[in-house]
Structure 1
Amino acid sequence: MNISYSWLTQFIDVDKTPDELDHILTSTGLEVDGIERVDLIPGGLSGVVIGTVLTCERHPDADKLSITTVDVGGEQPLNIVCGAPNVAAGQRVVVATVGATLHPKNGEPFAIKKAKIRGAASEGMLCAEDEIGLGESHAGIMVLTTDVPNGTPAATFFDLEADSRIEIGLTPNRADAASHLGVARDLRAVLDIPVKWPSVDAFAVASTDFTLQVRVEDAEACPRYTGLTMSGLTVSESPKWLKQRLLSIGLTPINNIVDVTNFVCHGLGQPMHAFDAAAITTGEVVVKTLPAGTLFTTLDGVERKLSATDLMICNGESDGMCIGGVFGGKTSGVSEKTTRIFLECAYFSPASIRKTAQHHGLKTDASFRYERGTDPNMPPFALKYAALLIQEVAGGSVTSDIVDIYPQPIADFRVPITYRNIDRLIGIQIDRERIIQILNALDIQTADLTESGFVALVPPYRVDVTREADVVEEILRIYGLDNVPLSPSLSANTLSEFPTTDVNQLQSRIGQVLAANGFVEAMSLSMTRPAYHDAIRASLPLTDVRLLNPLSDELSVMRQTMLFSVLEALVYNLNRRQRDLKLFEFGKVYGSSQVENESGTSSKKYHESPRLALAMVGDRAAENWLEKGQSIAFHDLKAAVHIVLASLRIQPTDQQPADPAQFQYGLTYTVNKKPVVTFGLVQPKLAKLADAKQAVYYADFDWALLIKRYSGKTSYVDVPRFPEVRRDLSLVIDKSVSFEQIQKLATQTERKLLRSINVFDVYEGSNLGNGKKAYAVSFTLQDATQTLTDAVIDKTMQRLMSQFEKELGAVIRK
């Protein structure tokens, strides 16, 4: 959610900077994700000032150029060559000084530099309105009528002062804060500054010449519905102040009527909708559901099939005009021809809106607020406020009384509170008067006060405060978590058995090991896109766990693999020019399966499994004067895998090729036939699903199995007293023979003396024959009880060579 700092100050007189508000809002639970400078014109007209043309003469070598001197408030006037036909001495003009960058309406930005034009020095530029992004005209320079001092910044003159956009990561429970007013309420509680409500005292009904009948058939889905009509309107472009407000939070202005409804929505948190009254041909607005399968075309031109539970705003009995609280219809929206409107402001059931928005896959500003819960007491006030604004920007007058259908008013929540529980949950005793002050500042009144507690009267717009613990949380977040000191001694009132392996400590230790080897920890959401799973469906052992109320289609299933979460983290960094990356993440994957009950029926069983993921992309190290950068290869990832396994004192017992559906090549290590890690080069087509264009190496550990195999015991073996011996062989073998086959055969042939085996060279060439390759392999032999003799060594090597020739068809090169 975006909040404009300038807009916010219209609701509360804060003397804090946006950066100071960052800390205050985050501490109250409205976490600030970022603060961005907003220039209503790109560049903010930095370096552009107001000046006066002192002299103007024709250029001696160019008929269409003029040489001017311009006073911009400096010690000396500027010499500027100008090609505009309307330039003249005495004019007040807009001047781009040297160093300024202009962002024209059409074309690329360009910087102003000192130059010589046909031999005449030029130290700036006199600007047309399109050259500074203020309009479309390029007929000549802008000539102003003003008495502001020379050197006045153009941004100040045109009222284009920069704003700050505060991005708040609004949690689903804080529907009350989904507006500038809502944020101001929290600041009021923390800073003890009153909120400034806009005045609606000037609202008046001019006449009742144009009255519509309104009927609500589904009061459960629409507990409150208000509306009025307005006539004599002129639909046009919004005034500058209104457009600036919407642009400051990232909205695109449409027209003055629609812009007012959006302004009220983001200002007060109350969605609204304006209908072209010409579309209400029956003279009656009916709030009802239509038969399932009814076709309805929304504002975006998409024809949708309605469900039987979709609440509709209808023209009479059957002609739908709007999906209530979600999206307007194409034929009833405000257009340039509109002169009369029906202005709607309602309170809809959150459950109804949530179901409809999910059914149609629509996420609008209105549904975002309605499905979380709006204020049922706000519609009449918001309706009057919007009507006054529409009169200001579009003319016209109110031509009907306000219709307010509210059969069962929603009462405040009554929540019994005891001071004992407040003290227990917070951990300290807060002054009782301070508690009441905090709650009152949050619009939570108190009744039935006694020495032991009170009853909190919570307004219905606080849909997240319905229990005693919720009220205590409100007190704590305003009082400040930082103001609660830690106890000198922490204790628990339960006695639990702790496992031998502390999982958290072990995870922390492995994280430190990976960090020491250049990896950076990533943390991602457990929700992901269904399309990712569809790409590897045959490799997934379980069924997707789908969310009943997803925040978006992109986050509608729980992940079954961490691959795509890590890929998205890589892409996020790669897009910000972080090209050499090594990431690790501890997380969980989820799935479901069908199990048969004793009664013969089946039910779903849900599974949750902890995993550890590694990912590498780019170069293993930055290039320097000593060596060039080398791209990460499979064995870099393999080394990292072995570091993790070695840190856990786990030795794989077998290996197989990795799943080709996910890896172009790779390995799966097993321990007692159970896979503990799969790693390799990710299939390019899977990487591209997350927009990763580089080669990505990925490892997936079964963290639960690793923890189970980890004993925590340290073993020590004495350094052998007798020396080891190395012997090398060059084996010419078929290309189909893998090193793993050579290794297995060697260890089976010589179990007592063979300590290790390693490939140190591979050769392929036409002189070996078709389908052949040569391995240079080293063998390390050692006897823990005595020094090896040449006879024993030769006998061992001969036995190995004989097996290689017999089992693998190898040719020993001598």
Structure 2
Amino acid sequence: MKISYKWLKDLIEINENPEEIGKLLTATGLEVEAIEEIESVKGGLQGVVVGQVLTCEKHPEADRLSLTTVDVGGENPLSIVCGAPNVAAGQKVIVATVGAALYPTGSEQPLVLKKSKIRGALSEGMICAEDELGMGTSHDGILVLNTDAANGTPASEYFGISSDYLIEIGLTPNRADAASHFGVARDLKAVLNRPVTLPSVAGFAVANQDLSIPVEVRNQEASPRFTGLTISGIHVGESPDWLKQRLQTIGIRTINNIVDITNYVCHELGQPMHAYDAAKIKGGKVIVTTLAEGTPFVTLDGVERKLSATDLMVCNAGDGTTPEPMCIAGVFGGATSGVSSETTSIFLESAYFSPAWVRKTAQRFSLKTDSSFRFERGTDPNMPLFALKRAALLIQEIAGGQVSSDIVDIYPESIEDFRVEMKYRNIDRLIGKTLDKELIKSILSNLDIQVENDTDVTFTAIVPPYRVDVQREADVIEEILRIYGFGQVELSESMSSEFLSDFPVNDPEKLRLRASELLAGNGFNEMINNSLTKAEYQQSLGDSLFGEPVKILNYLSEDLSVMRQTLLFSGLEVIAHNVNRRQRDLKLFEFGKTYHQTGDKYVEKERLSLFLTGNIQQESWTEKSREVTFHDLAAFVNQVLASLKIREVEKQEADKTIFKSGLTLFANKKPVVTLGLLNAAVTKKLDIKAPVYFADFDWEYLLRQYSAAVEYREVPKFPEVRRDLSIVVNKKITFEELKQIAYRTERQLLRSVNVFDVYEGANLEGKKSYSISFILQDEQQTLTDKVIDKSMQRLISAYEKEFEAVIRK
């Protein structure tokens, strides 16, 4: 929202500069995003003065140039070469002196005047035309003034050039009350404790009853209040400079004096208005109603729109049976009913429309206007009458005419103030500071909030209806605090809170979706399988499964006789089905439940399974195809765990009944994932000959371990150091064991351990060589060679002691 600093000063006494006003408004919640100086003529005509041509002669080297001397109020006249055909001695002219920066019409770049020679003649400035000053488009010749102004008078003073400051406010949706200069002035009134002065409407009077236009409101819910009057004998034309400058400062395009006044009042008071050409109101009557679904209507932009049965319209009587639309109420005017240069009388509308009705219509048509912006947030139902009189007086002042009807004010049910019961104790508690009761009442009074039924303990706050966001006790307290100032509430020596934070409950569906999207992004397809399966599948695994199978008492076939205890076989059935149809390269996952019985207790568990088989990489002209390996599966498993913030795991060899080779990963001593290459005996039951890799997650436990809290640690300022070791150990020793020993030995500096080469050969019978990298880092200082060597020696000693390792030089 854009506010003019000068316009604001008309409503409230302001001694502070725009920057100070910006800080005050931001502190109250009206965040000022930018402050920009706006000049009626760009550059402000600095260095441009009134001068008088003393002499004028033809340039000896150019027929179209003249040599002039010009008095600009200095000690000596200036020599200026001029190309204008109308220049002559004795003229009063506008002169840009050396150093002046002009912005010619249509140019964004300044023209800086320099002393120069033109065809050998000295030129110490420029006698200006209208377009060269940026004050018009004419370039027929220089501006010749009819004035007695002294030579050297600044052009900005002569032309009355003014400047203003544009204050741009990032208005939040709840602050509809501040969507005008008056609204912003009200906040300054509360902060500065200075009165706001609205323009007087005491001079409003009805001249005659020559043009009475009755109004019928058929939908009171959508239009709780509708006011209007007529003005006859107006002259539609260009607006005066002061009005144009006000609107242009806040970015409003001027149209004609009548439309400009309605826009002016809208931005001054926050009350949208609309003017209709009275001669175009058929039947001499205004009807506020909805029309049939699909009724066509051409808006001001020339677009034909199909109306909905829920769009409130301002209509005329039409043919006497069906109203004819003139305006989408509170949103956009019509193409045929507006004010034009031929208009001599108008019907002026000022209304309060339901925010919900306007919002739905504006969104349906994707129309965002100054009017809808205010109506859909909630305007002041007590403002239409005052705004109507204000606009009528401005129209009479600028466009002439006289009020030729009584005011129509249809307002059957008054919109009441909000009554909010308050407790002083709650004000002190929520603000965090005890405020004097008189100060509280003073702040509320400056916010137009009355205090009734005041006692030492409670009172009733009477909130005006234009404050649609202040309807609860906490809202009123927030108003007190934002005016008192957040910065004036001191922090206590010990921080505390009177409420518990709302720790979010993990949403299983969101976490499941996150994992699904991760896997799908890696090329996996999701399966959904039956929870009933063959009893013989699970019997073949013996004690490797949890508990006893849950049997179906009235099963329909042997293939569906028990509840599944594992997702393994339902996934293998899908693989077999696809392989039999020549789809051999598969990445599959399934979220599903398993069931088992322990004594009299039935247990249901949520699990996640992954399956890989065939080629992980398809052949192309740059690469050969590559079969799936254990490490491919492990990489996907680690990605899923990382998405759930499980990073530290311990590893053990997996059950040989199910896996030919594999690992079980533990988090907090609890097995969370088992993964590996399935035994051929398992896959053979479904006649699958290709290797199949399988991972089984305890999804239910992982969800319980997940925390949405974010952990942050400052990025170290000092560099890390890498050191490598080649170690020969017994071939049965795994890298995992070597890594755990490293972390136990060097707890302070060791950040990561990685194996980058493994070698087994005839010359290392019964042995294996690991090439391992160690990353060391001290977060407090740069590591020295002495400290690094000492750490590495500790690691070497630990390997030699624990594994009888041989360190290869």
Per the TM superposition, whether the score is higher than 0.5 is yes
Structure 2 CA distance for partners of 1:68 and 1:294, relative to 1, 3 Å: same
TM superposition shift of 1:99:
2.5
Q: Residue 67 of structure 2: SS of its match in structure 1?
A: strand
Give me the whole-angstrom Cα distance separating, in 1, the residues matched to 2:500 and 2:189.
43
Given residue 125 of structure 1, which amino acid in structure 2 is its aligned partner?
A: M
TM superposition shift of 1:458:
1.1
Give me the whole-angstrom Cα distance separating, in 1, the residues matched to 2:502 and 2:62.
93
Given residue 80 of structure 1, which amino acid in structure 2 is its aligned partner?
A: I
Q: Deviations over 1:469-490 (max 9, x none)?
A: 1111111111111111111222
The answer to whether the 8 Å contact 2:759/2:768 transfers is no
Work out which of the residue numbers 442, 446, 457 in structure 2 matches 1:452. 457
Q: Which residue of 1 aligns with 2:254?
A: 253
The answer to whether the 8 Å contact 1:649/1:710 transfers is no
TM superposition shift of 1:744:
11
Q: Which residue of 2 aligns with 1:358?
A: 363
Q: Deviations over 1:387-445 (max 9, x none)?
A: 11112222222111111101011122122222222111112121222211111111112
Given residue 415 of structure 2, which amino acid in structure 1 is its aligned partner?
A: I
Give me the whole-angstrom Cα distance separating, in 2, the residues matched to 1:373 and 1:216.
20
Q: Is 1:23 the equivalent of 2:28?
A: no
Q: Deviations over 1:658-685 (max 9, x none)?
A: xxxxxxxxxxxxx9799xxxxxxxxxxx
Q: How does 1:718-729 map to 2 (within 5 A)?
A: none
Given residue 771 of structure 2, which amino acid in structure 1 is its aligned partner?
A: R
Q: Which residue of 1 aligns with 2:484?
A: 479
The answer to whether the 8 Å contact 1:175/1:372 transfers is yes
Range that drifts further, 474-483 or 390-399: 390-399
Give me the whole-angstrom Cα distance separating, in 2, the residues matched to 1:470 and 1:290.
39
Q: Which residue of 2 aligns with 1:84?
A: 84
TM superposition shift of 1:82:
1.3
Given residue 228 of structure 1, which amino acid in structure 2 is its aligned partner?
A: L
Q: Is 1:376 the equivalent of 2:370?
A: no
**Number of residue pairs the alignment of both structures matches:** 564
The answer to whether the 8 Å contact 1:350/1:371 transfers is yes
Q: Is 1:168 the equivalent of 2:169?
A: yes
Give me the whole-angstrom Cα distance separating, in 2, the residues matched to 1:238 and 1:341.
17
Given residue 164 of structure 1, which amino acid in structure 2 is its aligned partner?
A: Y
Structure 2 CA distance for partners of 1:450 and 1:108, relative to 1, 3 Å: closer
Q: Which residue of 1 aligns with 2:194?
A: 193
Q: Residue 134 of structure 1: SS of its match in structure 2?
A: coil
Give me the whole-angstrom Cα distance separating, in 2, the residues matched to 1:495 and 1:313.
52
Q: Which residue of 2 aligns with 1:346?
A: 351
Structure 2 CA distance for partners of 1:192 and 1:74, relative to 1, 3 Å: farther
Q: Which residue of 1 aligns with 2:333?
A: 328
The answer to whether the 8 Å contact 2:114/2:124 transfers is yes
Q: Which runs of 5+ in 2 are unaligned?
A: 505-516, 527-591, 593-638, 651-671, 676-702, 714-720, 729-753, 762-766, 775-795
Given residue 755 of structure 1, which amino acid in structure 2 is its aligned partner?
A: S
The answer to whether the 8 Å contact 2:724/2:771 transfers is no
Q: Which residue of 2 aligns with 1:275?
A: 276
Work out which of the residue numbers 401, 404, 408 in structure 2 matches 1:399. 404
Structure 2 CA distance for partners of 1:423 and 1:400, relative to 1, 3 Å: same
Structure 2 CA distance for partners of 1:15 and 1:754, relative to 1, 3 Å: same
Q: Residue 275 of structure 2: SS of its match in structure 1?
A: strand
Q: How does 1:90-489 map to 2 (within 5 A)?
A: 90-106=90-106, 109=109, 110-316=111-317, 317-489=322-494
Work out which of the residue numbers 729, 734, 753 in structure 1 matches 2:769. 753
Give me the whole-angstrom Cα distance separating, in 2, the residues matched to 1:39 and 1:330.
34
Structure 2 CA distance for partners of 1:749 and 1:25, relative to 1, 3 Å: farther
TM superposition shift of 1:226:
0.4
Given residue 95 of structure 1, which amino acid in structure 2 is its aligned partner?
A: V
Structure 2 CA distance for partners of 1:724 and 1:121, relative to 1, 3 Å: farther
Give me the whole-angstrom Cα distance separating, in 2, the residues matched to 1:25 and 1:721.
61
The answer to whether the 8 Å contact 2:725/2:808 transfers is no
TM superposition shift of 1:721:
11
Range that drifts further, 18-27 or 419-428: 419-428
The answer to whether the 8 Å contact 2:236/2:342 transfers is yes
Q: Deviations over 1:574-608 (max 9, x none)?
A: xxxxxxxxxxxxxxxxxxxxx9xxxxxxxxxxxxx
Q: Residue 385 of structure 1: SS of its match in structure 2?
A: helix
Q: Which residue of 2 aligns with 1:67?
A: 67
The answer to whether the 8 Å contact 1:314/1:321 transfers is yes
Q: Is 1:4 the equivalent of 2:17?
A: no
Give me the whole-angstrom Cα distance separating, in 2, the residues matched to 1:259 and 1:9.
20
Structure 2 CA distance for partners of 1:121 and 1:416, relative to 1, 3 Å: same
Structure 2 CA distance for partners of 1:150 and 1:445, relative to 1, 3 Å: farther
TM superposition shift of 1:129:
1.0
Superposed CA RMSD: 3.9
Give me the whole-angstrom Cα distance separating, in 2, the residues matched to 1:13 and 1:719.
69
Given residue 113 of structure 2, which amino acid in structure 1 is its aligned partner?
A: I
Give me the whole-angstrom Cα distance separating, in 1, the residues matched to 2:496 and 2:20.
36
The answer to whether the 8 Å contact 2:724/2:772 transfers is no
The answer to whether the 8 Å contact 1:234/1:338 transfers is yes
Structure 2 CA distance for partners of 1:486 and 1:82, relative to 1, 3 Å: same
Structure 2 CA distance for partners of 1:710 and 1:127, relative to 1, 3 Å: closer
Given residue 458 of structure 1, which amino acid in structure 2 is its aligned partner?
A: V
Q: Which residue of 2 aligns with 1:569?
A: none
Given residue 179 of structure 1, which amino acid in structure 2 is its aligned partner?
A: S
Q: Deviations over 1:13-69 (max 9, x none)?
A: 201111111110000110101111212333332332223333333333333322222
* Percent identical residues: 59
Q: Which runs of 5+ in 1 are unaligned?
A: 500-532, 543-594, 596-641, 654-670, 675-701, 713-717, 726-742, 759-781, 791-814
The answer to whether the 8 Å contact 2:433/2:489 transfers is yes
Q: Which residue of 1 aligns with 2:619?
A: none
Q: Is 1:39 the equivalent of 2:39?
A: yes
Q: Deviations over 1:272-325 (max 9, x none)?
A: 001111221111100001112211111111111211111000112421111000
Given residue 23 of structure 2, which amino acid in structure 1 is its aligned partner?
A: H
Structure 2 CA distance for partners of 1:423 and 1:401, relative to 1, 3 Å: same
